[in-house]
Chain A
Amino acid sequence: MTGGPVRLLAATADTGRVGPLGLAASLILVAVVVVVSRWRHLDLGRQVVVACALALVQLLLVGVGLGLVVGDGRPLWPSWIWVAAMLLYAAWITARRAPEVAGLFGLALLALAAALAVSLAVVFGLGVFRLTSRTLVPTAGLIVGNALTSTVVVARRAVEDLRDKRPEVEARLALGLPAEQAARPHLRSALRTALSPQIERTRAVGLVALPGAMTGLLLAGVDPLVAVAVQVVVMYLVLGSAAVVGAVLALGLIPRLFTADHRLRELPRPADSA
């Protein structure tokens, strides 16, 4: 049992490099899911295979792209273009998820850019990491990726809550309360929904599961305490940026969901407006 494949797998674990055989081995559990799905008629096999194949293709493409942008001694401007593209894509995704909100693309872009600017200023301005192409894209990716979850949840929840609780909102408006106050309980609830998972993850980190950045560094052979330090930075940034992006978005939603004379706009369900 000390032959080629086993030795190869052991070697990849030591260096953090994954070869084709390691990649294939990681598919064993996926294969188990497919077999179980067939056996129990769960009808999940195709979805799982498609999801895995898509993830592989997407990540390979990203890997090839990153290879052109990221590397020692590479100039920074291609990385900044990459970051700008990430921001634009994230804003587009947010706008698609809440089509009822006019001008959401611009607002989401502003919120994401604000969160990213604050986070990057902290990370690179205070010297947590050195600003290189190798640090810029992954750091920005982490922040934008997590902030995107926040923008989508805040936008969706705010729209749905204001629409479903229109009588409550209008009863507040009818008492002479301004739109900001009439919307406040609903925006607060949307923000809580968006931030609660991040807060819970931060609270339980290390006890329930080792987080992604730390796991990656440990697999790559980095000293555990160094991995912990990086993870802490990442975690605080993710939490902070999610809060900043949620707050900016929530504030920016008010003039988009209410008229200038403090009336709640009609918010037809996406299916209704189709």
Chain B
Amino acid sequence: MGRLFSFEDVAVAFQGVALLEGVDLELPESGCTVLVGPSGAGKSTLLRLCNRLEAPTAGVLRFRGEDVAALDPLRHRRRVGMVFQRPVAFGGTVLDNLRVARPELTVDAAAEALDQVGLPPLFLEREQATLSGGEGQRACLARTLLTEPEVLLLDEPTASLDAGAATGLERLAKDLAGRGTSLLWVTHDAAQAERLADRLVVVDGGRVEARWT
């Protein structure tokens, strides 16, 4: 199986504080890799590196063998989509929000995008900011999927959701993984990690402590 991301002695520091140190890690293609660890362990920083919202202060990060620093960042971000901890509404309707990802999106295509995440077409006219946590996160996922990512990064996406909405999102993620999208899921919830993981990476204190397949 090919390598999706390779971390080669990667470090990230901010104002002299190390967020990640000496990370050597290879993440294979396909399936769901779960990064698990306590709050402040550096999991989110690892994920943000993959989407290039952060850059390593030392070491090299490769995506399918290519140095991420040498890739076109905008194209890379569309190939490696990201869903954040809390749903982020841009203002306007759900349709307006979807069109941020794909400006030429037709109403029919937008309805299909919502259908993919289990939301009815009626939601297109709803103000995105008025959606519940679970609905908002699904709408954000639909927005991210419109860039047709090959990899999906999910940064504690169920942290602000109730149990029912969290289970629904987990099911959706498993479904996407089953259809060939590679997933990197960050969580501090060990039970959730166990439910989702095809492989598990434990991060603590800015270091990769263990990994299982």
User: Are A177 and B100 touching (Cβ within 8 A)?
Assistant: yes
Q: Once bound together, how far apart are the Cα atoms of A185 and B97, in whole Å?
A: 13
Chain A binder among B49-57, B58-66, B171-179: B49-57
Question: Closest CB of chain A to B47's CB: distance in Å?
Answer: 10
Residues of A within 8 A of B52 (CB): 261, 263
User: Are A176 and B84 touching (Cβ within 8 A)?
Assistant: no
Q: Once bound together, how far apart are the Cα atoms of A1 and B152, in whole Å?
A: 87
Q: Once bound together, how far apart are the Cα atoms of A266 and B15, in whole Å?
A: 10
- B interface residues, how many (CB within 8 angstroms): 26
In this assembly, does A173 line the interface, its C-beta being within 8 Å of a C-beta of chain B?
A: yes
Question: Closest CB of chain A to B99's CB: distance in Å?
Answer: 11
User: Are B77 and A175 touching (Cβ within 8 A)?
Assistant: yes
Q: Once bound together, how far apart are the Cα atoms of A266 and B55, in whole Å?
A: 12
Interface residue from B14, B86, B91, B147 paired with A266 (Cβ < 8 Å): B14
Residues of A within 8 A of B75 (CB): 176
Interface residue from A167, A185, A263, A268 paired with B84 (Cβ < 8 Å): A167
- Residue of B whose beta carbon sits closest to that of A171: B88
Q: Once bound together, how far apart are the Cα atoms of A151 and B71, in whole Å?
A: 36
- A interface residues, how many (CB within 8 angstroms): 18
Q: Is the interface of A mostly helix, strand, loop or mixed?
A: loop
Question: Closest CB of chain B to A224's CB: distance in Å?
Answer: 47
Q: Mark A156-175, 1 if CB is under 8 A from B, else 0.
A: 00000000000110111111
User: Are B73 and A175 touching (Cβ within 8 A)?
Assistant: no
Residues of B within 8 A of A185 (CB): 90-91
Q: Once bound together, how far apart are the Cα atoms of A172 and B77, in whole Å?
A: 10
Residues of A within 8 A of B73 (CB): 261-263
Q: Mark A230-274, 1 if CB is under 8 A from B, else 0.
A: 000000000000000000000000000001011100101000000
User: Are A175 and B84 touching (Cβ within 8 A)?
Assistant: no
Q: Mark A171-197, 1 if CB is under 8 A from B, else 0.
A: 111111110000001000000000000
| B11-56 CB contacts (< 8 Å) to partner A | 14-15, 51-55
Residues of A within 8 A of B140 (CB): 171
Q: Once bound together, how far apart are the Cα atoms of A172 and B100, in whole Å?
A: 8
In this assembly, does B200 line the interface, its C-beta being within 8 Å of a C-beta of chain A?
A: no
| B74, B86, B101, most chain A CB atoms within 10 A | B74
In this assembly, does B144 line the interface, its C-beta being within 8 Å of a C-beta of chain A?
A: yes
Residues of B within 8 A of A259 (CB): 55
- 7 A-B pairs within 8 Å (CB atoms) are namely A167-B88, A168-B88, A171-B84, A261-B52, A261-B55, A266-B14, A266-B15
